[in-house]
């Protein structure tokens, strides 16, 4: 096979295999399919029973399988791509390059050695910050002012390869799902540009500073439980970061009734806002504010205004709707299942 320096790939096309799952990956696949090179195969996660089985945070749009099928591209869904069967599938495609975006499996040295020109990864953070499975959620949780997409040359270490391209955007009031949707087309653009640069000749990247590395591990259901002893801004970031999965939740407590689980879908705060009920209460105390609003005491003399919530087994609703249909009184509590 001729090397990059020979100019072979400039005159023909490369054989690309795409690995990815969910709406973050889909724009990259669409962009590659529209490009000058040949996508010879798509690897995506096996079909699951339910969108979030096994704790997957990935949103599904059109679906990688459907996008590939429209163009007649074969789809592979190995349970574990690093096993011999998965490696054999990849070898059968004789790829020049592997493009990965939110695939959901850590690739072995054996897999990464298959494509002649190596592999690049579309990662939803400004590396070296937030290596791992949930970079967007962790950026929101930690109150970052910005995030972005980094294209890296893949290595065996988790998101540790040299950086080939990077683009940032500000974090505003988006949920993790909304922010990921903004990042996805940026990742697609950078991926296509990086493929073209590699095709034109050898490129070098920037090494990641180990001193700046932070981790973004997979989310768990337990991470959604709201701790009302935190300041209001921390609670609001958690509510945004936990959407679309696992969602932020709490338990509603009132005298003589069992605790009821609630998803808190949308909330806000108001600097300096305080109600008399909070002077006698503790974090998690509910107070009914002006205009029939629903407030919850948090720490540091701060309070959270609930805008939308979802009681267990019911639909998502505005706080005003919930208050009209339920016997909620000031002094009731939100908190852990057992107080």
Q: What would the pLDDT profile of 297-332 be if each residue is shown by its tens digit? A: 999 889 999 999 999 999 999 999 999 877 899 999
- Per-residue tokens: 190: 């950078």
Specify the CATH number for the domain of residue 14.
3.40.50.170
Does residue 204 sit in the same domain as residue 236? Answer: no
Interval 208-246: pLDDT, tens? 999 999 999 999 999 999 999 999 999 999 999 999 999
Considering the domain architecture, whether residues 121 and 194 belong to the same structural domain is answered as yes
Going by pLDDT thresholds of 50, 70 and 90, the confidence category of residue 157 is: confident
**Domain shared by 70 and 164, yes or no:** yes
CATH code of the domain covering residue 287: 3.10.25.10
Tell me which residue has tokens 């002077």. Answer: 279
Contact 213, 131 (CB under 8 A): yes
Q: Total domain count for the chain?
A: 2
147 and 234 part of one domain: no
Checking if the pLDDT of 53 tops 60, the result is no
Q: Which pLDDT score, from 0 to 100, does residue 258 have?
A: 94
Q: Taking a C-beta distance cutoff of 8 angstroms, is the pair 100, 154 a contact?
A: yes
Residue 123's φ and ψ, nearest 5 degrees, are: -115, 135
Q: Are residues 119 and 85 in the same domain?
A: yes
Mean pLDDT of the chain: 92
Q: What is the pLDDT of residue 266?
A: 98
In this predicted structure, what is the pLDDT of residue 49? 64
321 and 270 belong to one structural domain:
yes
Q: Is 192's pLDDT higher than 90?
A: yes
Residue 287 phi, psi dihedral angles, 5° rounding? -135, 140
> Do residue 65 and residue 177 come from a single domain?
yes
- Domain range enclosing 114: 4-212
- Torsions phi, psi for 89 (to 5 deg): -55, -45
Q: Which of 170, 185, 212 is the last residue of a domain?
A: 212
163-170, strands of its sheet edge to edge: 75-76, 38-43, 15-20, 97-101, 119-123, 146-153, 163-170
Q: Are residues 183 and 232 in the same domain?
A: no
Instruction: Please tell me whether residues 208 and 294 are part of one structural domain.
Output: no
Same domain (yes/no): 180, 253:
no
pLDDT at residue 59 in the model? 63
Same domain, 261 and 179: no
Q: Identify whether residues 193 and 226 lie together within a single domain.
A: no
The H-or-E segment that residue 195 falls in is helix 176-200
Question: Given 184, 212, 240, which residue is the final one in a domain?
Answer: 212
In which region does residue 217 sit, left (phi positive, over 0), alpha (psi from -120 to 50) or beta (all else)? Answer: beta
* Across 44-55, average pLDDT: 64
Last residue of a domain, one of 183, 212, 241: 212
Alpha-helix residue ranges (DSSP H) falling in 266-306: 276-280
């Amino acid at each position: 096979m001729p090397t990059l320096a020979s100019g072979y790939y400039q005159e023909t096309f490369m054989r690309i295999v795409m690995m990815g799952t969910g709406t973050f990956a889909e724009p990259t696949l669409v962009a590659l399919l529209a490009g000058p090179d040949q996508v010879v195969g798509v690897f995506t996660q096996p079909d699951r029973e339910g969108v979030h089985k096994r704790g997957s945070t990935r949103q599904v749009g059109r679906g990688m399988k459907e996008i590939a099928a429209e163009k007649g591209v074969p789809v592979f869904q190995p349970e574990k791509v690093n096993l011999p069967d998965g490696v054999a599938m990849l070898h059968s495609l004789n790829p020049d390059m592997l493009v990965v975006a939110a695939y959901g499996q850590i690739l072995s040295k054996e897999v990464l050695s298959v494509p002649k020109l190596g592999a690049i990864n579309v990662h939803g953070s400004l590396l070296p910050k937030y290596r791992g499975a949930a970079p967007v959620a962790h950026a929101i949780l930690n109150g970052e002012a910005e995030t972005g997409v980094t294209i890296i040359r893949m290595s065996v270490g988790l998101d540790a390869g040299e950086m080939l391209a990077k683009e940032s955007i500000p974090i505003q009031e988006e949920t993790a799902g909304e922010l990921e949707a903004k990042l996805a087309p940026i990742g697609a653009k950078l991926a296509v540009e990086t493929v073209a640069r590699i095709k034109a000749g050898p490129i070098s990247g920037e090494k990641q500073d180990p001193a700046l590395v932070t981790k973004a591990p997979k989310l768990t259901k337990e991470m959604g439980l709201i701790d009302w002893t935190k300041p209001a801004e921390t609670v609001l970031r958690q509510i945004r970061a936990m959407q679309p999965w696992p969602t932020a939740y709490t338990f509603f407590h009132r005298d003589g009734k069992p605790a009821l689980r609630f998803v808190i879908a949308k909330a806000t705060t108001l600097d300096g806002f305080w109600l008399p009920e909070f002077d006698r209460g503790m974090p998690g105390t509910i107070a009914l504010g002006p205009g029939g609003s629903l407030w919850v005491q948090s720490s540091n003399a701060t309070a959270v205004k609930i805008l939308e919530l979802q009681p267990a087994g019911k639909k998502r609703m505005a706080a005003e709707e919930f208050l009209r249909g339920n016997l909620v009184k000031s002094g009731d509590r939100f908190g852990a299942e057992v107080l």
